[in-house]
Structure 1
Amino acid sequence: MSEAQPSTAYRCGQLYATLHVLCSVGTGDRALDKQEARDKVLKRPEEHLGPPLGKAAQYVMAARRKGSDRAKAADELFRAIVDFIPANGKLPAALGEGEKGEFTKGFHQQMAEYATTHGRLMT
């Protein structure tokens, strides 16, 4: 993986982390934080990343109703989504074994960053 151009699997991990935190900040729902949910995304990213990606604007709207701190965080997270969409604009249908490791690295790296910047809001 090049530092300048993360792999599609790595980006998908970052995207999943972003959607998880955005959902948590906006709605308080931590369903995307469960290992079972991550396992589904690892098997079929296109199928299981698509729905929360489609709900991203709803998460922002919910956060805005909860106050300025959550609104600011949600706006930042929403804008970050475009950085993590795969370069070809497609979510992969499946990931190979090595790609699953890249996804996991991207997820954990992004979650560590969000724990620092938005940890108190991730309820």
Structure 2
Amino acid sequence: MPEERPTDAHLCGQLYATLEVLQRLADIGFRALGREESRQRAAKKPRTEMTVPLHTVGKSLYWARLRGHGPAAGAVFRSIPDLMPSARDLPATLNPDQQKEFLQGWQAQLDAIEKIRNETAGR
């Protein structure tokens, strides 16, 4: 039986975590995604809060590579297409239950990225 695709709210949380990690690897000044208040705003209004970071993801990848984090940033970057919601655009708003799904997706993606980092560090 095929695995069900996560909800758009969950995928938005995973996408947010991915963009957050890329900003952290890039170590550039606009790393706002790592702030709790930014994450809470994105959980309520993904389209408003995530569109600009999604548009500038190439900049994060570029700077992460310059900082010596190319392999990790590349692996994180390549996951983005699979994390895009099924709708044409990011959801404009999420209700309280969807906000919980967003945060669960965010945590699940951070855990998945950490697992990959640990596996590649052991090589």
The aligned counterpart of 2:121 is none
SS at the partner of 2:79? helix
**Per-residue deviation, 1:115:** 2.5
Aligned mates of 1:82, 1:115 — CA distance in 2: 19
Uncovered stretches (5+) of structure 2, i.e. residues with no partner: 119-123
Alpha-carbon deviations, 1:86-109, whole Å to 9, x = none? 012310000011111110110011
Distance, in Å, in 2 between the alignment partners of 1:5 and 1:43 is 21
CA offsets per residue over residues 16-36 of structure 1, 9 Å max, x none? Answer: 000000110112554212110
Q: Which residue in the other structure is 1:91 paired with?
A: 90
Alignment correspondent of 2:64: 63
Q: After the TM superposition, which residues 19-98 of structure 1 pair with which residues of structure 2 at under 5 Å, given as runs?
A: 19-27=19-27, 30-67=31-68, 70-98=69-97
TM-score by length of 1: 0.86
In structure 2, what is the Cα distance between the partners aligned to 1:46 and 1:28?
22
- Deviation for aligned residue 1:3: 4.2
Q: Distance in 1 between matches of 2:33 and 2:3?
A: 27
Query: How far off is 1:42 after superposition?
Result: 1.5
Moved over 2 A (4+): 27-31, 115-119
The residue identity in structure 2 corresponding to 1:76 is A
In structure 2, relative to structure 1, the CA distance for the partners of 1:3 and 1:103 (3 Å cut) is farther
Unpaired runs of 5+ residues, structure 1, are none
Q: Percent identical across equivalent pairs?
A: 34
Q: CA–CA distance in 1 between the matches of 2:39 and 2:111?
A: 16
Equivalent residue letter for 1:74: A
Residue of structure 1 equivalent to 2:102: 103
What is the count of residue pairs matched by the alignment? 116
Larger displacement relative to structure 2 (24-33 or 76-85): 24-33
Q: Cα RMSD between the aligned structures? A: 1.7
1:113 shift after superposition: 1.7
- Deviations along 1:23-70, one digit per CA (max 9) or x if unpaired, are 101125542121100111012110101011111000011011112xx1
TM-score, normalization: structure 2?
0.86
- Name 2:13's counterpart in structure 1: 13
